[in-house]
Amino acid sequence: MSDLSTPVLGPGALQSRPTGTSQELNTPACTGRTLIEAARDRVAEIAREHGLEVIWRSVANTVPFTGVFSEPLLVNVVAQLEAAFRTVLRCSNQLPRNLVFLLNTSGLPIPAESLLYGWFRTRIQRQNFMATCELRPLAATVPETDRDDDSVVLWIDDPTVPLAPRQPYSSRFKSYLALNFPILSDAVRYNLVNHANRHMAREVEYLRRDCEKIYFPPALPYPAPNSVKTILFCLYWLDFGGAESFALEQIELAHMAGYRIIITCDELRRHRLLEKARQYADAIYLIQNFSFKLTREDAMMRIIREHQPDVIHIHHSFVMYRVLPLVRMLQLPVRVIDTTHILENRFGIFPKESVAHSEFIDLHHVISHELKRFYTDLGRIPERRIRVGKLHELSKPFRPAPSKWDHTNPLRVVFIGRFVQQKRPYLFVEIARRLARRFGRDRFQFQSVGDGDLYKSVQQQFARSGLGNSFQFLPSDAPTADLLAEAHVLVIPSDNEGLTLVGFEAGKADCIVISTDVGAQRELVPPELLVPRRPFACLYRSVAIISGLIDGRLDAQRLLQTQRTMLERNLAEPSGTDVCLQFYNGSGNTSALAAGDARTQISTAE
């Protein structure tokens, strides 16, 4: 395969940065003015690529950044600006006359189209850094009649601002109940959702039973063997999570193999992995970080028509699922692979979308045998179109601390995960409170790693628990390798999971994993360590297991040996990377996978 030309958004794309040393960039005096200088350089460069010039009209210079201004922050913000600006130029019906850049400093994912109207105007002046500019053609390439007189808003997130906690519900009473009585609220919600999910199997069977076979005329021939192939990765967002980590792993490997990489993101959220992704991508499109007169589906189709990808890899993208029928009607020689991670107990949306659009997907990659059974039994999809590839390659080679099980006083119990409803961190705090009340606070060292929407309410719960110094909150970037090396027990009280990466890592570190019996956790966690998903039953059983480890009723070494056996069985299975890279190479229909074969093939392909 021939080498790629220099990527538009490759590692060298940020050559035009504001003047000044690193020391100057880190001083408090460097506020929005330094940012706008960097933005001007990058916007002008992109505009020239499209035959445009930029005339700056106004710059709000009074609102500085929140926190310390630094080079990584500059890179993050300019990366967002670049991706959103390219999306506007690629996807707008008409070339906009004016652009408005908004640096949102509220910590809330406010829709861009709402920021210019109503009471948001006052907030813009106080809390958002704003600049406006006019776009003019360098030559008479764009007739004035094709210009759009409406301003287009680019929504840029200030990553230094902590994410503002969102209310769990629109109703004040439900929000009050969730914040002050989280376990009771979870129990009520559990019963309501279980009632709604009873119809899920019937809905999936209905989708497949009434889906007619669709015929498409023969596709156009593939490009010449020596031409560079393009892979379109469709993501929900670029933020921390198992699905996003796996997507970035495939993006990096495909880039190393010489493929052109295009990335789209569906959601208007904080894209904290954007600058990492742009090291490998030729273009990144944030199709909801701006306001224009097209739907997200229209924008996606324009991106596909422009780049004509050879492979589309879906990673939890609603927009891509919904345009798949149109993509097939274009008769492009494109092959589609879909990766799903989790059969959600509360919604189940992504697997249902995947099953509903299965006629347009060449290969379903699933990360567990539990998901495979869902596709074959309920979805009625032939096994030859489903491949199991586990994500154990993403787990780092953790090691246990020497003889850590010789000294279990204090017993180290940890929780690692985002502070969101899915992970249910409030259950971990209550487990800690009940254990401390039974055995005393000095018998334990509880630690939690993460942040998120529920962080404030969990802190309030902790303040009422009386745990004191026995409980420690650690940031999301804390070194989990060191933490798990010393930890004795990892608690995963989640309401939804696929097959957790932290479970693999804890197993490698000889840390006993107590997990709710959700998703495919039973493929990794011994039966004695699985607890019910129902909130109060999860509490009682988790406390009972840890109590058994303390008073000797449960043999920790026997449980660890069983856990090691199950871990080795998982590590012996094909990895998700092997499955996906073989599909990229056109060998996704092989009957067997050998570890490492995919990497060998992709490095020598064509």
pLDDT at 559: 95
Q: Tell me the pLDDT of the chain averaged across its residues.
A: 77
b (16+ CB within 10 A) / e for 341-353: bbbbbbebebbbb
Q: Predicted confidence band at 196 (pLDDT cuts at 50, 70, 90)?
A: low
pLDDT at 394: 76
- Phi, psi dihedral angles at 366 (to 5 degrees): -120, 155
pLDDT at 208: 54
Structural domain 213-390+576-604, CATH architecture: 3-Layer(aba) Sandwich (3.40)
> What pLDDT digit, counting tens, does each position of 467-482 carry?
999 999 998 888 888 8
Q: Are 267 and 236 in contact (CB under 8 A)?
A: yes
Write the DSSP string, 236-286.
S-SSSSHHHHHHHHHHHHHHHTT-EEEEEE-S-S--TTHHHHTTT-SEEEE
All CATH 3.40.50.2000 domain ranges in the chain, comma separated = 213-390+576-604, 404-571
CA dihedral 343, 349, 350, 352 (to 10 degrees): 90
Rounded-to-integer distance, Cα 85 and Cα 102, Å = 12
Above 80 in pLDDT, residue 443? Answer: yes
Q: Predicted confidence band at 149 (pLDDT cuts at 50, 70, 90)?
A: low
Rounded-to-integer distance, Cα 305 and Cα 521, Å = 40
The class of domain 404-571 in CATH terms is: alpha beta
Q: Are 112 and 87 in contact (CB under 8 A)?
A: no
Least confident piece of the model among 269-273, 488-492, 540-544: 269-273
Q: Which two tokens stand for residue 273?
A: 């992995």
Write the DSSP string, 578-606.
HHHHHHHTT-TT-S---TTHHHHHHHH--
Least confident piece of the model among 338-342, 344-348, 381-385, 602-606: 602-606
Residues in the chain: 606
Above 50 in pLDDT, residue 29? Answer: no
Nearest to 83 by CA among 258, 277, 259, 242: 277
DSSP 294: S
Write the DSSP string, 178-199.
HHHSHHHHHHHHHHHHHHHHTT
- Is 48 or 448 the better-scoring residue by pLDDT? 448
> What pLDDT digit, counting tens, does each position of 396-432 carry?
777 888 888 988 889 999 999 988 888 999 999 999 9
pLDDT at 78: 82
Report percent pLDDT > 90 for the chain. Answer: 34
Pairing of strands 129-137, 52-59: antiparallel
> What pLDDT digit, counting tens, does each position of 484-512 carry?
999 999 999 998 888 888 999 999 999 99
Quickly count: other Cβ atoms within 10 Å of residue 476's Cβ: 16
Q: Are 533 and 516 in contact (CB under 8 A)?
A: yes
Rounded-to-integer distance, Cα 442 and Cα 280, Å = 49
The whole-model pTM stands at 0.78
Q: Which two tokens stand for residue 540?
A: 């009682």
Q: Predicted confidence band at 7 (pLDDT cuts at 50, 70, 90)?
A: very low
Omega cis (within 30) before 410: yes
Q: Which residues contact 479 (CB under 8 A, 6 or more apart)?
A: none
> What pLDDT digit, counting tens, does each position of 212-231 carry?
444 444 445 545 555 788 99
